Chains A and B, each alone.
Chain A
Amino acid sequence: MALESRQALAHAFSHGRPALVTYLVAGFPDRATSIASIRAAATAGADLIELGVPYADPLADGPVIVDAANVARSAEGGFGLAETLALAAELTADEAMPPLALMTYLNPMLRYGLPRLAADAAAAGIGGFIVPDLPPDNRMTGTWLAAAEPLGIDTVFLATPTSTPERLRTVAEASAGFIYVVSSVGVTGERGDLPPELADLVERVRHERVDGPPIAVGFGVSTPEQAASVARIADGVIVGSAIVKRQRDPGKVAAFVTLLAEAVHGA
């Protein structure tokens, strides 16, 4: 089944203003509450929902997301990639739902089977994948892209402050949907200050692929003020841990995302 255009990641960046990307953990603290929190984020102005797949060994994530994933996984029967796909299908049936990207680690994908996963993800209306431990230039990557690309599923790769110019080019050229710029070294989680070199990093990524996909910045963006400052230099702002911290209460998610959306869309 082909994706609808409203489900493609590009749709999130087509509103003529910076996009707000919100990350939530699927199944946290339980399935029903996670659905309510995701819908609350969408209604409050999120342009793209990044849906975290609970995983036992998330190398790129900080304590907030690690703990949330462990709570989700402890559900009766577990909560993993298969459950996240079913949850996504329920969300995307709603025409008002913004595009969804799954953030997952590689091993659940391999266990599921890459071709089967691409087919099931497209059927669930998932527009893209962000896989922190899948490098852009590896033979496993080719296998995944060969399955996902024909179905219209974008794969987003990550550019980081430690990346050499050559790596930035590789990441920028391989990314589809958007390019994920990691604000600073380290795992996901709130930071007091974003590094002053961030604007320069965004420019360097843009320079590597001038007509490339939009650039969104994440890792450490946790306040409306930070979100606004990032929105002035990038096409999108990704907020994760600061939302997950509120994810047990959809009302708090709604209130917080409303503030973020005002800050990002008005920047």
Chain B
Amino acid sequence: MSDLLPSAGMAYQGADAQGFFGPYGGSFVPETVVPALQELTAAFEARDESFERELAGLLRDYVGRPTPLYRADNLAAAVGLGRVYLKREDLAHTGAHKINNTLGQCLLAKRMGKKRVIAETGAGQHGVATATTCALLGLECAVFMGVEDIRRQALNVYKMRLLGAEVVPVEEGGGTLADAVTAALRHWVERVEDTFYCIGSAVGPHPYPTMVRTFQSVIGEETIAQIAEKGIGRVDAVVACIGGGSNAIGTFYPFVVGVPQADRPLLVGAEAAGMGLDTDRTGASMTLGTPGVMHGFYSYLLQDDAGNPLEAYSISAGLDYPGVGPEHAYFKDEGIVRYEAVTDAEALAAFAQLTRLEGIIPAIESSHALALLPRLAAELGTEATVVVTVSGRGDKDIDIVREAGL
């Protein structure tokens, strides 16, 4: 296996032809959908200039990219860092980074001649982004969502319906993100001939992790360009939150492949510790998981002794996933990215802090990344410069935050 890994002198190249990042990733799915994945891989690899031009135009004029890199001085002073910059994905159309990926995938679906798109959603952000994109492109849309998440994210459910999507409630399991992915995959096995599955995170069988990362890399590419344009100089750390890991991989990947290791900032992913790492109410698959296969890929996984995936928990409906994108698992093992766990309470405190100090209400997911700032201040010192990807805005989380007593 080691011959498949990049050697010390070689630049990191991403997945191999079977979709493996080191030992992680691959494609472990029922044979029925294998031809569809092969067709998708071919279409993805055949993206041409007209595709890139159409996508770039939509990202600029429809999504509002580039999103700003905002210097948050009030926050920096409060957490004890020199400078904090926020990559404002919350200002993207629909209020989160998810639309970068849904535009890419749905344009691909359209070019493949598919008329119908399905998606899973946790917090509802990917569901809303998919429903929005399908409205724009004239595609039929069905979104699978766990019943617990439907309860927690009523606003997004209503938005999806307004946008013309069917929201399919998933009762199985804990009624959260992982159950929605399973239901969507199972549905895809039934309707594979006319349906395109638009996965929202950097998970799933090959080519999804690579495809989602490619469409989300606009986050990190813009960040690198903005650091140069603004003359920011040295950046000590770049932080993003991780459920499946799409905004994080989109933030980190351009730094991994585009910045020499000696100049590269510390890259830190914030996963959900939930009620705490010493409880069974957690979503910390990187910190507590062991390698296994779920939803068609091999990666770190919260699982029991018999190999059943465990139910993950987080206050955030976007981070309560028992697995994690395979490229992140590879980055963890290789020490390319560091992953830390953040509790519900820490995330809530960070949510309140950014709201009060900067007038920016972040998603509870993004608040996990913000919660790492005091830790980084202690580690890197008061002069340090840190970039945080604010993956989405927090309007959808107002009820949760109110319930939590903020």
Contact = CB atoms under 8 A, between A and B. Distances in A.
Are A and B associated in one complex?
A: yes
A160 B26 contact: no
B61 interface: no
A106 B28 CA distance: 8
Contacts of A59: 29-30, 182, 185-186, 189, 295-296
B20 to A, nearest CB: 7
Nearest to A111: B307
Contacts of B38: 164
B250 to A, nearest CB: 27
A90 interface: no
A138 B18 contact: yes
Contacts of A150: none
B189 A80 contact: no
Given A57-B182, A138-B26, A107 B309 contact: yes
A25 B292 CA distance: 23
Contacts of B36: 162
A185 interface: yes
Contacts of B189: 59-60, 185-187
Contacts of B303: 107, 111
The interface size bin for chain B is 35 or more
Interface string B8-22: 000000000010100
Q: Which one of B33, B186, B291 has the greatest number of beta carbons of chain A within 10 Å?
A: B186
B34 A135 contact: yes
The interface size bin for chain A is 35 or more
A141 B389 CA distance: 39
A132 B26 contact: no
A109 interface: yes
A56 B309 contact: yes
B113 interface: no
Nearest to B1: A139
Interface string B171-188: 011000010001001100
A134 B28 contact: yes
Interface in A61-80: 66, 73, 78, 80
Nearest to A161: B32
B306 A81 contact: yes
Nearest to A79: B306
Interface of B: 1, 18, 20, 26-36, 38, 172-173, 178, 182, 185-186, 189-193, 291-296, 298, 301, 303-309
27 contacts: A57-B294, A57-B308, A57-B309, A59-B185, A80-B308, A107-B307, A107-B308, A110-B293, A111-B303, A111-B305, A111-B306, A112-B307, A133-B296, A134-B28, A135-B31, A135-B34, A139-B20, A139-B26, A140-B26, A140-B298, A161-B32, A162-B32, A162-B34, A171-B31, A186-B32, A186-B190, A187-B190
Interface of A: 55-57, 59-60, 66, 73, 78, 80-82, 105-112, 132-135, 138-140, 157-164, 167, 171, 182, 185-187
